[in-house]
Homo-oligomer: A and B are copies of this chain.
Amino acid sequence: MVERKRIVEDLRKILGRESVEDDELTIKLYSRDAAYIEGSALAVVFPKSTDEVSALLSYAYRRDLKIYPQGSTSELVGSSTPSDDGVILSLSRMNRIKEYSVVDMYAIAEPGVRLVELNEVLAEVGYMFPIDPASVKSATVGGAINSGAGGMMGLRYGTMKDAVLGLEVVLPDEKGTVLRLGGRTTKYRAGYDLIRLIVGSEGTLAVVTEATLKIVPIPENIVSIAAFFPSLDDLVNAVVELKRRGINLYIAEFLDSQTVDAAKVMKPRIQGEGNLLIISVDIAREAADRMLLMLEEIMKENNASAVFKASSMKEAEEMGIFDMRRGFYPASIKIAAERRRDVERRSIFFIEDISVPPSRLAECVKRIRDLAEKHNVNITLGGHIGDGNLHPNVWFEEGDEEGKRRALEFLDELMKLAIELDGTISSEHGIGTTKKEFLLMEMERKEGLKALEIMKEIKRAFDPKGILNPGKLW
């Protein structure tokens, strides 16, 4: 207790009184993530500059103090959860968009800038930052970098790993060394790529204090089609045919039929029976009709029933083509609430995040449904079919130990299934604390254990005392 008081006083000397909070409520607020994984901490600090972060890390190094960097804590795997003997480092007050250039196609932002804010500014000049996690409204630049975020447009633009040109980071060493990596150009060679090592490192290597991000022009026109398929095989066959014809898909999303039924509680504007496929293609206005006809033909050849077409993004939004896909999470929550046995209890969700090669998707979805039946758990199921990224959601009621056990057994088999089908246990959500065992399992099965040893040595090279976000990844 005395120790804690001294640390808080030291932090106030370093960062100023207004940048250090140690009241219980603030700490509680910053100690849990979007999956309700909770921790505690000695204090929350809000530095306003790189120099302050540097002073903080230098102090932490000398005092062996654990530091937990944080964006908006919208992550889902416990990667931002602190421990009670550590300090939460919120980057929320470093939130300036420093500059951007459409000619040079980059934007420079501090870590606390929310992706949605960045895109509002860029939209004015016809550009965007194309990484769009579902949490895009709250997710920050720093958080997205550290969690290696992806999204619906991952099929075209990849993930954060493909989108960071340069970084300024602070190292957890004696001096709190400030390191500038990369630059402002796409092509950049300077020895080993430390930038992409930090992207996706879940705050365990260095604290990002500035990022130079690759930006792209907003496509001139995007056509979209939504179609409902009686069977998953039909839906996957339609996707196979799209790829076979070399159509350069912009977005390709799906929900399985049981999830489509469930999503109806959200009153989506387009409705149909069966498995939902949504396809967007960026194409010039003059060719919109041709493309839509071709897409429609492919859908119908593969037994689609209801088909909805939009020749522009504006029209797609007016028709509500994305309603069901966007309503995926809210619908899951609503269904969970409706099926709840005890209304006093909230539902605890696992929002899962496996990938399999898209050609294995029909098999994967069927086997996931079988697993859900076997373990008697409720699930909803959809995701990014273009890149094979599935988000099965499973839940149980708080306090229902039997339900929790069943959910965990389901997850265990789900992960094994992903690995069996040449896929992966984590695609864009990360490892954090909840997937440490699954990462180990995947590494074991893929002749990758030595990789974990190398990663631990890399961790030591950046963070010799292990004070930065400890307890994550392994």
- Distance of A104 Cα from B105 Cα, bound (Å): 29
Q: How many whole Å from A129's CB to the nearest CB in chain B?
A: 14
Which one of B101, B387, B459 contacts A359 once the chains associate, using CB atoms below 8 Å?
B101
Q: Which B residues lie within 8 Å of A461 (CB)? A: 453-454, 457-458, 461
Instruction: Answer whether residue A451 sits at the interface, using C-beta atoms and an 8 A cutoff.
Output: yes
Q: Which B residues lie within 8 Å of A462 (CB)? A: 454
Q: Which B residues lie within 8 Å of A358 (CB)? A: 103-104
Interface footprint category on A: 35 or more
Q: Which B residues lie within 8 Å of A159 (CB)? A: 186-187
Contact mask A259-287 → B, CB, 8 Å, 1/0?
00000000000000000000000011111
* Number of chain copies forming the complex: 2
Instruction: Answer whether residue A218 sits at the interface, using C-beta atoms and an 8 A cutoff.
Output: yes
B451 touches A191 (CB 8 A): yes
B190 touches A197 (CB 8 A): no
Instruction: Answer whether residue A309 sits at the interface, using C-beta atoms and an 8 A cutoff.
Output: no
| Most central of A154, A192, A355, A358 by chain B CB within 10 Å | A192
Q: How many whole Å from A438's CB to the nearest CB in chain B?
A: 10
B201 touches A219 (CB 8 A): no
Closest to A473 in B: B191
B248 touches A219 (CB 8 A): yes
Given A103-B243, A125-B244, A154-B187, list of 19 further CB < 8 A pairs? A102-B243, A103-B240, A148-B193, A154-B186, A171-B450, A185-B427, A187-B384, A188-B427, A189-B427, A190-B439, A192-B201, A192-B455, A193-B199, A194-B451, A217-B243, A218-B246, A220-B248, A283-B284, A457-B458
On A, residues with C-beta under 8 Å from B are 101-106, 125-127, 148, 150, 154-155, 158-159, 161-162, 171, 177-181, 183-194, 196-197, 199-201, 205, 216-220, 239-240, 243-248, 283-287, 290-291, 355-359, 384, 387-389, 422-431, 439, 442-443, 446-448, 450-455, 457-462, 473-474
